[in-house]
Amino acid sequence: MKNDFHDGVNKGVAPVTYGQGDRPPRGDYSRARADYSCEQDMARYTEADHETYRRLYARQLRQLPGLACQAFIDAVEQLGAPDRIPRFSDISARLSKATGWQIVGVPGLIPEEAFFALLAQRKFPVTDWIRTPEEFDYVVEPDVFHDLFGHVPLLFNPVFADYMQAYGAGGLKASRLDACELLARLYWYTVEFGLIDTPQGLRAYGAGILSSAGELRHAVLSPEPQRIAFDLQRLMRTLYKIDSYQAGYFVIDSFRQLFDATAPDFTPVYAAVRQQPLVEAGIVLDGERCFTPAG
């Protein structure tokens, strides 16, 4: 099954070939500034675009109870009106009061260094275009719905917001240590496809799960995928596929655990990970703690 969030840039391709293989990037990068941010041009959205956003939002909102973590459910209304693509500056006005973050428009996927640099400044890059009605169930690259609905609500959570900034700062360090691929896996298995264990059972916090119609049920309820306890080094050597539902997920017990696990200097972590074999997604190694799907 295809997930509806596919981030070709995880293959570390150069900005000019973002997306699938050598497909040109979809956005209009000519309007981007040096830091890859661009103004959100509200006039460019058609009524069909607003209708697509309204339909995607309504479908996901209905699914959240029992599947999305409570911090996400509590914050999703901060996106504003559910029936039109919101103005990024309106959300930033609320977000900056909550955690000092703001969202900035970008034409689409941007190079890793630029991405890390924006996160380190508490600026979250939000793609400014939306998928076509034909792509309602699956879009190759992250669009405004994935970035807003998937990523922005948890930026209102102070601990998760601190983790996201630390991730950006860490990414800049990782770039200098040629460890971007290891950090990409950390992003993938936490920010994009992370699960959290709660007294009520497993819940989703990853944006790629929360913005996906099908993967939200798959990740939390299906008996198919493996779900193992968060382990930083194990996660950094676990491969992933970027255009299908995940075969394996990692489970944290709190955002605090995630922040604390990434506080130490990663230099020895990168060295240790590089000495261990890569693992296919969905494999459980001896002694690893597995989680059962939510009831």
Ligand X SMILES: N[C@@H](Cc1ccccc1)C(=O)O
Ligand Y SMILES: C[C@H](O)[C@H](O)[C@H]1CNc2nc(N)[nH]c(=O)c2N1
Q: Does 145 bind ligand Y (CB under 6 A)?
A: no
Q: Does the active-site annotation cover 146?
A: yes
Binding mask 70-109 for ligand Y (x = CB under 6 A): ------------------------------------x--x
| Shortest distance in whole angstroms from residue 166 CB to ligand X | 4
Single out the residue of 112, 128, 143, 197 in contact with ligand Y (rule: CB under 6 A).
112
Which of 6, 37, 146, 218 is an active site residue? 146
DSSP 40: -
Q: Which of 202, 207, 209, 273 binds Fe ion (CB under 5 A)?
A: 207
User: Which residues of the chain form beta strands (DSSP E)?
Assistant: 102-106, 123-127, 195-198, 201-204, 226-229, 248-252
Which of these is catalytic: 6, 192, 212, 215?
192
Does 212 participate in catalysis according to the annotation?
no
Alpha-carbon span 183 to 94, nearest angstrom: 29
262 binds, among ligand Y, ligand X, Fe ion, none (CB under 5 to 8 A by kind): ligand X
Q: Show the binding pattern over residues 117-156: x = contacts Fe ion (CB under 5 A), - = does not.
A: -------------------------x--------------
192 tagged catalytic: yes
- Active-site residue, 151 included: yes
* Long-range residue pairs from 112-116, CB within 8 A, at least 24 positions apart, any chain: 112/9, 112/12, 112/171, 112/175, 112/180, 112/184, 113/171, 113/172, 113/175, 114/35, 114/36, 115/168, 115/171, 116/167, 116/168, 116/169, 116/170, 116/171, 116/172, 116/174, 116/175
194 binds ligand Y (CB under 6 A): no
Nearer of residues 179 and 184 to Fe ion, judged by Cβ: 184
Q: Residue 218, annotated ligand binder?
A: no
CA-based angle 86:20:29, to the nearest 5? Answer: 50
3-state secondary structure of 190: helix
Which residues are the active-site residues? Answer: 146, 151, 192, 211
